[in-house]
């Protein structure tokens, strides 16, 4: 698919991978709509690109619904939804919607947004590209009935569980909507703003040593290569997982259709969507 003139929505666009993706997609000729949590940072990304930014805090499901309404009002077609928003929280936090925040931001809110935009994506012959994580590969299966986390909270465990939940929901979405192309991908490891709640990561992000670290772990631009490939490829996408630009096996737990179906129903109940 040639991206020239295509409407591409990018969530998590205020920094890191999302910011890099917005710039590269714009350079490829797409009409990009950057969506971010920070109005100031998202506006800065959009400046000079001729793009009108949108803001949404995925820790509030009302914000996700508002975002979907604005997108439907503004966009006669949506060719690509890049579902990239994510976070790692330092401590166990429950949102006003009643969910553990890492799970809600990383899995539940993207699930809700995809579903609210499904009809527009279908009518546009569109696709969904989801930012995943290599933490899903070979991970033990999560319990769909315990999505709010264990009694002992650990930030990176919660993050990995939320990404596995997102991977399961992505594959279930592909099964339920075969007319919409869907894929997820691991963007690589790089210094970014994902773990904004952890003081060590915040310190590293603003450290003079950041450039040195990036020489070893890479930058968001490498991950954008795979994202752009999935956004523009003519190869049909039916829920596959990609890493380093190639289709990769995500592991049996990420492809467990039974658990995915159970999780889908729990998320539908939690967001008020029909089963």
Those residues whose C-beta lies under 8 Å from the C-beta of residue 16, and which sit 6 or more positions away, are: 190, 192, 193, 194, 220
Q: Is the dihedral of CA 61, 223, 129, 77 positive or negative?
A: positive
> Residue 28 burial (CB < 10 Å; 0-12/13-18/19+)?
middle
pTM: 0.91
CATH architecture entry for 7-268: 3-Layer(aba) Sandwich (3.40)
- Residue 152 confidence (pLDDT): 81
Per-residue pLDDT of the chain (275 residues; tens, 9 = 90+): 789 999 999 999 999 999 999 999 999 999 999 999 999 999 999 998 989 999 999 999 999 999 999 999 999 999 999 999 999 998 999 999 999 999 999 999 999 999 999 999 999 999 999 999 999 999 999 999 888 866 688 999 999 999 999 999 999 999 999 999 999 999 987 655 555 555 455 544 554 544 444 444 566 777 899 999 999 999 999 999 999 889 999 999 999 999 999 999 999 999 999 98
Residues 6 or more apart in contact with residue 107 via CB below 8 angstroms: 147, 162, 163, 165, 166, 169, 267
Q: What is the DSSP string of the chain?
A: ---TT-EEEESSTTSHHHHHHHHHHHHTT-EEEEEES-HHHHHHHHTTTT---EE--TTSHHHHHHHHHHHHHH-S--SEEEE------SS--B-TTSSBHHHIIIIIHHHHHHHHTHHHHHHHT-EEEEE--GGGTTPPPP-GGGTT--SS--HHHHHHHHHHHHHHHHHHHHHH-TTSEEEEEE------STTTT-HHHHHHHTSTTHHHHHHHH--HHHHHHHHHHHHH--S--EEEEEETTEEE---GGGG-HHHHHHHHHHHHHHHT---
**Tally of residues, the chain:** 275
The pLDDT assigned to 212 comes to 45
Nearest to 21 by CA among 190, 258, 214: 190
CA atoms of 43 and 47, how far apart (whole Å): 6
Point out the catalytic residue in the list 159, 173, 241, 242.
159
- Which residues on adjacent β-strands are paired with residue 35? 54
Is residue 159 among the annotated active site residues? yes
Which residue is it, tokens 């630009």?
245
Nearby residues of 135 by Cβ (< 8 Å), 6 or more positions away? 159, 160, 163, 164
Rounded to whole angstroms, the Cα distance separating 111 from 161 reads 15
- Phi then psi for 23, rounded to 5 degrees? -70, -40
């Amino acid at each position: 698919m040639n991206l020239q003139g295509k409407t591409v929505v990018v969530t998590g666009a205020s920094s890191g991978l999302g910011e890099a993706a917005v710039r590269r997609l714009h350079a490829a000729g797409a009409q990009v709509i950057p969506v971010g949590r920070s109005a100031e940072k998202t506006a800065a990304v959009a400046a000079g690109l001729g793009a009108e930014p949108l803001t949404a805090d995925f820790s509030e499901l009302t914000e996700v619904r508002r975002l979907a309404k604005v997108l439907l009002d503004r966009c006669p077609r949506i060719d690509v939804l890049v579902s990239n928003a994510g976070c790692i929280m330092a401590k166990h936090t429950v949102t006003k919607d009643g969910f553990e925040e890492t799970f809600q931001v990383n899995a539940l809110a993207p699930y809700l947004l995809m579903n609210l935009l499904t009809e527009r994506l279908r009518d546009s012959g569109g696709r969904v590209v989801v930012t995943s994580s290599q933490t899903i590969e070979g991970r033990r299966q999560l319990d769909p009935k315990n999505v709010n986390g264990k009694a002992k909270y650990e930030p990176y465990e919660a993050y990995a569980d939320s990404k596995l939940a997102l991977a399961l929901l992505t594959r279930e979405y592909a099964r339920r909507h075969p007319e919409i192309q869907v894929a997820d991908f691991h963007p690589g490891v790089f210094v970014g703003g994902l773990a904004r709640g952890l003081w060590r990561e915040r310190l590293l992000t603003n450290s003079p040593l950041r450039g040195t670290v990036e020489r070893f772990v890479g930058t968001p631009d490498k991950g954008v290569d795979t994202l752009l490939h999935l956004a523009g490829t003519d190869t049909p996408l039916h829920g596959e997982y990609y890493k380093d630009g190639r289709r990769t096996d995500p592991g049996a737990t990420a492809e467990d259709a039974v658990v995915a179906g159970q999780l889908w129903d729990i998320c539908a109940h939690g967001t008020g969507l029909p089963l």
